[in-house]
């Protein structure tokens, strides 16, 4: 703050320190920073590991085992680490946000697990009091000290008799807070210690009722040596079941040690969701960071979950995720390349593994291929697409069709596929995720191939014209049909095509669909928008109802003498053609179908009644 003198000049202000409400900080940690109180045990293990690591730098022969003891009073953890002096305790234990690893932060990030100075506070999410007894290994003249802190933010500090604590190191006691006793149950402590610390470089044990349970397993399974490749693969798959809870479809080894990362990627046994990136299990120097960490692999690799250990990536403050920076981006790209290389390898040498993979994850491969033309070139003979020639690879499809027409939607493909196939027109369904993008890459990979968007006019041009004399006989039918369908922005033409089982074909290009959307918008718009959208109506493209001259149903239209009944027949053909497109119907189309069905039903009822009267 700044005080002013009577003449208005600035005077030296009084300095104050921020006051911290520890209960508020603990509430912030437990409800917003950490996902669960379970992390208290991780923070205890982290501090112990960092203390041992610090001492081993100056004394490589110092002991390294970490011991946890659970009894009716709570939990204590002991480590033979570097310890603290009385000054260190004031600085590091009683100052929120201060970390002993901050002195040389870049070096600390590689050597230590913690960097944020808030780890011990996480214990207040489950503890009423925290008691720390510590003796420094760096200052032999320093007395051991006891730091006793309560959840209300108060603490006491006293020196202890060095004869009672002759060895360097630290022991932390936690007394449970009311309602949190379940977090101190022996089995739960053992489970949490194994979950977080199974790959720590130092031995960790949990003792309860005289029974000692080992926690650490040694080096990660992917860094171990095995007699044969088969045994190694079996061990990795077994670990995947234990670590991730599912039987993997396949396993991919990840080795980016130049970037400080190694691990294993497991292929999901069921299709993944391309809209959601996978969550991965990440260890930081052997300590579990989290089992739902995102951003480790590129988004296209949604079909795998990986388990990795890193000594270079930065954790977030909650230590449950990774900090998004350039280093993580480099690692993500390197691991993505290894997943891509694995797929390339099995495509070239192990067709059975590839087939098993594609039966579940074809969409994932298409996602990868859309980012890598080289991968697409390798996978083209194996990826199946929906085409007018059936479900075939594009390499097979392009042998018969040098011009590849691709639709933008599934409905558009269904609309024309039967007729186009009968006319020999090659169309690929581009409505599925990634398919349209991949088809667009074909000219880069296959010489002489042209890719064009499907045009309704191209389909119409491929249909055979009808002899003028025969078409003349249809003039009354065509005239009435055009009048009936004009309000629906649909023209009517006559062509001859196969299959004969299709009496009418509804064709509309992208421009016609946009016009239909404009018309629907006008109906619900206010006066201003109606005027604006109405100005776009001139020369708007229209859909087409193509009557099939080869169809017996269509030929019978010329025999209908009743104009009302002919109108109903035309509306029925229009409705049937619309239904063949599998697209949602407009309200006007639904009303037309209901009206046509009702009139047909009424005509059939009258016809049946007339036949009954004649019989009588």
Q: Where residue 266 sits, what CATH number does that domain have?
A: 3.30.230.80
Q: What is the CATH number of the domain that holds 168?
A: 3.30.565.10
Q: Is residue 560 part of a domain?
A: yes
Could you give the percent of the chain with pLDDT greater than 70? 83
Q: Kindly state the average pLDDT of the residues 303-321.
A: 87
Q: What is the pLDDT of residue 252?
A: 96
Q: What is the CATH number of the domain that holds 392?
A: 3.40.50.11260
Q: Is residue 308 part of a domain?
A: yes
Q: Are residues 250 and 395 located together in one domain of the fold?
A: no
Distance, in Å, from the CA atom of 233 to the CA atom of 231, rounded to the nearest integer, reads 5
Q: What is the pLDDT of residue 153?
A: 74
Q: Is residue 199 part of a domain?
A: yes
Lowest mean per-residue pLDDT among 18-22, 58-62, 294-298, 589-593: 18-22
- With contact defined as beta carbons under 8 Å apart, do 395 and 432 qualify? no
Query: SS in 3 state form for 449-500?
Result: CEEEECCHHHHHHHCECCCHHHHHHCHHHHHHHHHHHHHHCEEEEEEECCCC
Q: Are residues 159 and 297 located together in one domain of the fold?
A: no
Strand ranges for 246-354 from DSSP E: 250-256, 261-267, 280-284, 287-293, 304-310
Distance, in Å, from the CA atom of 293 to the CA atom of 280, rounded to the nearest integer, reads 5
pLDDT tens digits for 243-287? 999 999 999 999 988 888 999 999 999 988 777 778 899 999 999
Looking at 214, 249, 275, the residue that finishes a domain is: 214
Looking at 454, 478, 500, the residue that finishes a domain is: 454
> 543 vs 107, which has greater pLDDT?
543
Q: Is residue 375 part of a domain?
A: no
Q: Are residues 438 and 345 located together in one domain of the fold?
A: no
Q: What is the pLDDT of residue 8?
A: 54
pLDDT tens digits for 24-63? 666 665 555 666 788 899 989 988 998 999 999 999 999 9
Most confident of 5-9, 389-393, 496-500, 586-590: 389-393
Q: Are residues 32 and 59 located together in one domain of the fold?
A: yes
**pLDDT range class, residue 154, cuts 50, 70, 90:** confident
Q: What is the pLDDT of residue 615?
A: 47
Q: Is residue 563 part of a domain?
A: yes
Q: Is residue 226 part of a domain?
A: no
Q: What is the pLDDT of residue 408?
A: 87
* Bridge partners for 133 per DSSP: 146, 171
Could you give the percent of the chain with pLDDT greater than 90? 49
Q: Are residues 173 and 242 located together in one domain of the fold?
A: no
Q: Are residues 397 and 269 located together in one domain of the fold?
A: no
Number of domains in the chain: 4
Q: Are residues 240 and 323 located together in one domain of the fold?
A: yes
Q: Are residues 506 and 580 located together in one domain of the fold?
A: yes
Q: Are residues 263 and 139 located together in one domain of the fold?
A: no
pLDDT tens digits for 547-567? 999 999 999 999 988 888 899
pLDDT tens digits for 400-457? 999 999 998 888 888 888 888 888 889 999 999 899 999 999 999 999 999 999 887 7
Q: What is the pLDDT of residue 273?
A: 78
Q: What is the pLDDT of residue 104?
A: 40
Q: Are residues 592 and 547 located together in one domain of the fold?
A: yes
Q: Is residue 9 part of a domain?
A: no
Domain of 287, in residue numbers: 232-355
Q: Are residues 341 and 303 located together in one domain of the fold?
A: yes
Q: What is the pLDDT of residue 116?
A: 30
Q: What is the CATH number of the domain that holds 471?
A: 1.20.120.790
pLDDT tens digits for 579-606? 888 777 888 888 888 888 888 888 878 7
**What average pLDDT is seen over the chain?**
84
Residue of 47, 97, 259, 85 lying closest to 162 (CA atoms): 85
pLDDT tens digits for 179-222? 999 999 999 999 999 999 999 999 999 999 999 999 998 899 99
Q: In what order do the strands lie in the sheet with 384-387?
A: 390-393, 384-387, 427-428, 403-406, 450-453
Q: Is the pLDDT of residue 492 over 70?
A: yes
Q: What is the pLDDT of residue 498?
A: 87
- With contact defined as beta carbons under 8 Å apart, do 408 and 510 qualify? yes
Q: Are residues 244 and 199 located together in one domain of the fold?
A: no
Tokens linked to 180: 């949190």
Q: What is the pLDDT of residue 9?
A: 52
pLDDT tens digits for 229-242? 999 999 999 999 99
Sign of CA dihedral 325, 330, 336, 342: negative
Residue of 37, 48, 49 lying closest to 285 (CA atoms): 49
Q: Is residue 16 part of a domain?
A: no
Q: Is the pLDDT of residue 96 over 90?
A: no
Looking at 355, 372, 391, the residue that finishes a domain is: 355
Bond prior to 487 in cis (omega within 30° of 0): no
Lowest mean per-residue pLDDT among 137-151, 319-333, 414-428, 506-520: 506-520
Q: What is the pLDDT of residue 29?
A: 58
Q: What is the pLDDT of residue 30?
A: 54
């Amino acid at each position: 703050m700044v005080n002013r003198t009577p003449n208005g000049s600035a005077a030296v202000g009084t300095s104050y320190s921020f006051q911290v409400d520890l209960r508020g900080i603990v509430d912030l940690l437990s409800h917003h920073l950490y996902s669960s109180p379970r992390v208290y045990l991780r923070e205890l293990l982290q501090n112990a590991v960092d203390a041992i690591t610090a001492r081993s730098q100056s004394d490589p022969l110092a002991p390294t085992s970490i011991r946890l003891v659970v009894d009716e009073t709570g939990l204590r953890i002991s480590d033979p680490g570097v310890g603290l002096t009385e000054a260190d305790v004031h600085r590091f234990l009683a100052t929120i946000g201060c970390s002993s690893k901050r002195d040389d932060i870049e070096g600390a990030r590689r050597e230590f697990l913690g960097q944020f100075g808030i780890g011990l506070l996480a214990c207040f999410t489950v503890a009423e009091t925290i008691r720390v007894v510590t003796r420094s290994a760096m200052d032999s003249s320093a007395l051991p000290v006891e730091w006793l802190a309560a959840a209300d933010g108060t603490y006491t500090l006293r020196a202890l008799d060095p004869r009672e604590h002759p060895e360097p190191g630290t022991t932390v006691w936690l007394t449970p807070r009311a309602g949190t006793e379940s977090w101190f149950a022996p089995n739960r402590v053992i489970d949490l210690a194994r979950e977080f610390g199974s790959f720590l470089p130092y031995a960790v044990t949990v003792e309860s009722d005289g029974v000692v349970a080992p926690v650490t397993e040694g080096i990660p399974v992917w860094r171990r040596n095995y007699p044969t490749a088969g045994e190694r693969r079996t061990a990795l798959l077994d670990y995947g079941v234990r670590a991730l809870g599912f039987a993997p479809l396949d396993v991919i080894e990840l080795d980016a040690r130049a970037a400080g990362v190694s691990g294993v990627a497991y292929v999901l046994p069921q299709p993944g969701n391309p809209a959601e990136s996978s969550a991965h299990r990440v260890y930081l120097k052997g300590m579990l960071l989290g089992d739902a960490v995102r951003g480790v692999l590129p988004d296209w690799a949604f079909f795998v979950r990986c388990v990795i250990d890193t000594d270079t990536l930065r954790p977030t403050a909650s230590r449950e995720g990774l900090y998004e920076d350039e280093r993580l981006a480099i690692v993500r790209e390197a691991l993505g390349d290894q997943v891509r290389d694995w797929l390339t390898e099995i495509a070239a040498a192990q067709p059975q593994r590839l087939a098993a993979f594609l039966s579940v994850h074809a969409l994932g491969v298409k996602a990868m291929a859309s980012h890598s033309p080289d991968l697409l070139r390798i996978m083209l003979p194996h990826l199946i697409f929906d085409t007018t020639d059936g479900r075939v690879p594009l390499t097979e499809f392009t042998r018969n069709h040098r011009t590849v027409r691709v639709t933008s939607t599934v409905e558009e493909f269904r609309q024309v596929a039967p007729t186009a196939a009968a006319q020999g027109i090659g169309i690929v369904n581009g409505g599925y995720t990634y398919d349209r993008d991949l088809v667009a890459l074909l000219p880069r990979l296959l010489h002489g191939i042209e890719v064009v968007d499907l045009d309704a006019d191209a389909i119409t041009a491929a249909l055979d014209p009808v002899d003028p004399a025969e078409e003349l006989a249809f003039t009354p039918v065509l005239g009435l049909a055009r009048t009936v369908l004009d309000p629906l922005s649909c023209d009517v033409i006559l062509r001859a095509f196969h299959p004969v089982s299709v009496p009418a074909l509804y064709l509309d290009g992208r421009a016609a669909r946009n016009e239909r959307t404009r018309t629907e918008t006008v109906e619900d718009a206010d006066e201003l928008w109606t005027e604006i959208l109405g100005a776009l109506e001139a020369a708007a493209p229209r859909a087409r109802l193509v009557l099939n001259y080869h169809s017996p149903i269509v030929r019978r239209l010329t025999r209908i003498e009743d104009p009302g009944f002919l109108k109903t027949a035309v509306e029925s053909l229009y409705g049937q053609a619309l239904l063949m497109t599998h697209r949602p119907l407009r309200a006007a189309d639904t009303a037309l179908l209901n009206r046509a069905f009702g009139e047909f039903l009424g005509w059939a009822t009258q016809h049946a009644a007339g036949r009954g009267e004649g019989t009588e």
